[in-house]
Structure 1
């Protein structure tokens, strides 16, 4: 294009720049100056000089055109090569602009060299929040620039072993191959060529060489090799950051038995324990080499931490679950063990994200700064494409900021009393106590009003009891649209995660008179069999909740009929057994309502006994009726409702692990519904109830002796004594 432009302009330059040749030339004096301009000797000589100049200019321009043409050709050839080599990057782009681990057809990867002038130096932790806000402006523009500046491969590295014909079927994705210099070598099997190969790479930690092995998710044909690697590398911890299937695609073969024992190659794997939590599952395996008739082969304990909350698209909504998960991995991995094996599907995106967060938390503790750009660059020299998307890159920073701002707030039950003493003590220079300062951090969390679209529609505004408490779009409870009626899928209620499973609760406002039918449609649609009511129908002369059941007879709400079958008075609550019948479907279900009377019109309950009792009663009901969502409501569905959900979640963890985290539990609730645990009094009440619960058990120190967290006796040779690891027959 530059050439065409120059050729077009050349005649114009020649014609306009050519001077006229006159027959005579006189000595001229400038009008405004005394400087003398000499006359030309003759018109012929003048034209001759001009022709020579024109020829010189044309030669120069021609040379310039040739040079420009050559540069453009070379540039286009280079760009074409770049585009072909870098097509893997474009292949990851989905229609919604997000990127995911995707099986690719092209193998070559373009190696881009990092800039010699370091644009992204290590970041002091006290600048982390400021820098996060700056880089996230304009839809993460600066973060995208930073991520795109990362070298895809900082070094020229070969993948000869992975590219061998015998090994091609062992690779899940054709362009995610381990480098020869950092790949994990298995011991060769006799008579099996290239049996030393597995798609896995050693990855350094913050200051620990080969702390991790980043691996692809095992394929059906590589499961035996995977367990062989676990055994040979002396691995005690497996971190799995994918689900077996996502978007109906197989992401990883199930390489463990659901129960009992199974043999993979020459490694016997038996399941010892399984603990399912809201964000992850922990599985304990006992593994042993087979073929030893003496039975003297040592047994080893291997723990798999399976993070189940990574969504099919993008990244987790909040880094809280990942930070808890990572802490559990760090705590449980034995010092004697070999590398921690981390895998997702391809072993680069989520795997890299986990490893970078771990390393940067270590760096944050040691140096009070983080170097995400530098660390990602270094580990990409060990395995290609580690941290695969800009969203994963931003998520790393979000996790680091979360840890910096709020720290580790988990407590052992044995330390709660001393911790409360610190919370009640005044903070130097803060003008308040520790408890108030902790609660202020919670109230500073921004309420995302722009994420409440449906609740703010004009047709739905009248369905909200309190205009400041409207469900977020991402987790609002949706009910079926009534035939022929628009905007009938809305009810003011939010799904709330519990300790063991997602959507454990439906946090709802107390029904208005004109939303009673919607309330019962929600109960029916989501098969809720337990309702917790934390308000009276009227308090201080104001309606707090419409009566959504009939004291005698049957209440009809559209297609649903609600009949009171039984009513029992307990110490601090009433139990009502209701029969809900869908007249259109000719089906009926039993629903039990727990109506708590222990909450005064002003303030909080005087003690926690009533709340502890009703939580226990609801949990017992759930075990009998199936773990469908528990409907919890007060008036607005935030203050008392949030307190109940927080206490139920915290106490369940106390029983299971002997650990509590009131702060992060409430923080998580507030991210799911505005104003959950609304006042400082309610927040303090959460701590008091937990302390009261612990004090009620004289053997509270034995919480950790539960069936899952039983002690396992290990000696320095990592053998497991026979009484703790028993092989089950499948």
Structure 2
């Protein structure tokens, strides 16, 4: 169901009350949050000292990787310049590409300035979370705790000793019912039991998981069940996609009431960081939207390890992609600021904040429909097909231009230049890193190859040179490649290409030995099966070539 622009208009608006002017933060508060990073006093609440905060919330976000702008964007900026407080302005959707094309360094500086003046720390009372006796175990590893006015309060029954507390916040409540719940992922069986109580009581039908490092709160095998407190969780179906898994779960209470829940688990969001490919996340968000639209008024629950970093980066994009489509103006700053009224310090790092901008830029260039089924091609005339191809290829070229600033320092280093057949080398951010030992002179962890997917499931590489034969097989061995596809035979390959396989028997390349197990010839191609072994490791890798 399509929504009208008016339904998204308020996402761009500043919060109400004493911050209704939208952007300005009092200068004394800017100084404290930017320069000292010390404790903040919530309006109308009891002042909590820094010492007591450290004592109560010893577990912090140290597991987060440093938000290294240079590593992510390939551009170094002086973070001190981000202390200047320039009020952000609404951006016209039609001018977003112009805004993002002003030079990467200028864009990053402006985005970081926005991030640095967002309200940080406690903006509202958190007395219930602070005073809870089991705070440490129930907050897991998160320093972020829920505000009193937005926390999810669990229903308790009689004198069972159950707690009404879980580290979760209601975000953007509408018509007395939550649209979204941001939560920490359960780290123990006890938290998993409370997690499912919360899902049942809040009538959650769509569950989004962004972090692999949580307690397994669902059965591992289809058609099996596990008991969590008073809830029995049955895994009915599990469908694996390239970057995510869709599970259909049935929750059954002690009195045989049933709740059907869909869990969508995104697999390639690195802990404390951001996904490497915006397109994968955009596609995932579209799948989640399709599922959530079927649940009507039921809230959607999103969780990661801390319930603030990946969780609300995802949630911001979930909403902003609609703003991008239906509204005439957009403000990432206002959306994040409004959500920080509901949960503390959502979107934890500068890199996550910049990633929101980058993803929206890519989304605007990407056709709304990126998949075409064969039956649609059958009914498409040549003119329509050509127009579609031209539009999509133009979008790809524009996205390629956006990615050009990425660093290629490692591949262009003096010790690696001879390993590249042509001038092009791998981007530092997407190259596979070789880990196994080598004996070939000059070998290190570099090979001219690119991971198309963050998990290394698809790798592109050049035909190996004579000097890189061992490195080629190290790549195959280290990433457990089960299939090699060679698109040319040796008669049509580049003159510098070296034959890298045995037709029979075995050949040793440095520490790597390749044994031909089987060969089958077809009319148009030949298939071979190799056993690849490394001198320092016992387990072989079986490869179809």
Partner of 1:538: 491
Please give the residue correspondences for 1:234-253 in structure 2 after superposition, counting only pairs within 5 Å: 234-244=203-213, 252-253=214-215
Per mean C-alpha deviation after superposition, the further-off stretch among 331-340 and 479-488 is 479-488
Partner of 2:131: 164
Shift of 1:524: 4.1
SS of alignment partner, residue 178 of structure 2: coil
Which consecutive unaligned segments of at least 5 residues does structure 1 have?
Answer: 1-74, 100-114, 245-251, 427-432, 594-730
Partner of residue 312 from structure 1, selected from 243, 251, 271: 271
Shift of 1:437: 3.3
Q: Does 1:338 align with 2:304?
A: no
Shift of 1:406: 1.2
SS of alignment partner, residue 381 of structure 2: helix
Distance 1:435 1:256, change over 3 A: same
Distance 1:423 1:452, change over 3 A: farther
Distance 1:314 1:174, change over 3 A: closer
Q: Is contact 2:210–2:265 with CA below 8 Å preserved after alignment?
A: yes
Looking at structure 2, the residues matched to 362 and 461 of structure 1 have their Cα atoms a distance apart, in angstroms, of 45
Q: Is contact 1:135–1:141 with CA below 8 Å preserved after alignment?
A: no
Per-residue CA deviation, residues 228-259 of structure 1 (Å, 9 max, x unaligned), is: 11111111011122221xxxxxxx33322223
Q: Is contact 1:135–1:143 with CA below 8 Å preserved after alignment?
A: no
Distance 1:415 1:213, change over 3 A: farther
Specify which structure has the higher proportion of helix: 1
SS of alignment partner, residue 484 of structure 2: strand
Shift of 1:417: 1.4
Shift of 1:331: 0.5
Q: Does 1:182 align with 2:138?
A: no
Q: Does 1:454 align with 2:410?
A: yes
Partner of residue 144 from structure 1, selected from 108, 112, 120: 112
Partner of 1:573: 525
Looking at structure 2, the residues matched to 476 and 216 of structure 1 have their Cα atoms a distance apart, in angstroms, of 31
Looking at structure 2, the residues matched to 383 and 188 of structure 1 have their Cα atoms a distance apart, in angstroms, of 23
Distance 1:558 1:126, change over 3 A: same
Partner of residue 253 from structure 2, selected from 286, 289, 292: 289
Which consecutive unaligned segments of at least 5 residues does structure 2 have?
Answer: 1-27, 41-49, 55-59, 69-83
Shift of 1:345: 2.0
CA RMSD of aligned residues (A): 3.8
Please give the residue correspondences for 1:61-460 in structure 2 after superposition, counting only pairs within 5 Å: 84-86=38-40, 97-98=66-67, 119-134=87-102, 136-138=104-106, 140-152=108-120, 157-166=124-133, 168-169=135-136, 170-172=138-140, 175-192=143-160, 195-204=163-172, 210-220=178-188, 221-244=190-213, 252-259=214-221, 260-290=224-254, 292=255, 297-333=256-292, 334-411=294-371, 413=373, 416-417=376-377, 420-421=380-381, 424=384, 433-444=387-398, 445-446=400-401, 448=404, 451-460=407-416
Q: Is contact 1:271–1:286 with CA below 8 Å preserved after alignment?
A: yes
Partner of 1:622: none
Looking at structure 1, the residues matched to 86 and 507 of structure 2 have their Cα atoms a distance apart, in angstroms, of 71
SS of alignment partner, residue 142 of structure 1: helix
Distance 1:92 1:425, change over 3 A: closer
Distance 1:485 1:341, change over 3 A: same
Q: Is contact 1:161–1:167 with CA below 8 Å preserved after alignment?
A: no
Looking at structure 2, the residues matched to 171 and 271 of structure 1 have their Cα atoms a distance apart, in angstroms, of 27
Looking at structure 2, the residues matched to 359 and 184 of structure 1 have their Cα atoms a distance apart, in angstroms, of 21
Q: Is contact 1:154–1:377 with CA below 8 Å preserved after alignment?
A: no
Partner of 1:687: none
Looking at structure 1, the residues matched to 488 and 505 of structure 2 have their Cα atoms a distance apart, in angstroms, of 23
SS of alignment partner, residue 411 of structure 1: coil
Partner of 1:700: none
Distance 1:310 1:581, change over 3 A: closer
Distance 1:337 1:224, change over 3 A: farther
Partner of 2:432: 476
Looking at structure 2, the residues matched to 95 and 219 of structure 1 have their Cα atoms a distance apart, in angstroms, of 17
SS of alignment partner, residue 388 of structure 1: coil
Q: Is contact 2:210–2:269 with CA below 8 Å preserved after alignment?
A: yes
Shift of 1:521: 4.0
Partner of residue 462 from structure 2, selected from 480, 496, 509: 509
Per-residue CA deviation, residues 408-428 of structure 1 (Å, 9 max, x unaligned), is: 2333526531685376456xx
Looking at structure 2, the residues matched to 206 and 408 of structure 1 have their Cα atoms a distance apart, in angstroms, of 27
Per-residue CA deviation, residues 531-558 of structure 1 (Å, 9 max, x unaligned), is: 3221021239x63733334556654534
SS of alignment partner, residue 236 of structure 2: strand
Shift of 1:79: 6.2
SS of alignment partner, residue 257 of structure 1: coil
Q: Is contact 1:566–1:578 with CA below 8 Å preserved after alignment?
A: yes
Distance 1:97 1:223, change over 3 A: closer
Q: Is contact 2:365–2:395 with CA below 8 Å preserved after alignment?
A: no
Partner of 1:713: none
Looking at structure 2, the residues matched to 181 and 226 of structure 1 have their Cα atoms a distance apart, in angstroms, of 19
SS of alignment partner, residue 507 of structure 1: strand
Q: Is contact 1:136–1:142 with CA below 8 Å preserved after alignment?
A: no
Runs of 4+ aligned residues of structure 1 deviating over 6 Å after TM superposition are: 78-82, 93-96, 205-209, 583-589
Partner of 2:500: 548
Distance 1:544 1:285, change over 3 A: same
Greater length-normalized contact order (CA 8 Å, ≥ 6 residues apart): 2
Shift of 1:329: 1.0
Looking at structure 1, the residues matched to 405 and 327 of structure 2 have their Cα atoms a distance apart, in angstroms, of 38
Please give the residue correspondences for 1:648-663 in structure 2 after superposition, counting only pairs within 5 Å: none
Looking at structure 1, the residues matched to 262 and 229 of structure 2 have their Cα atoms a distance apart, in angstroms, of 20
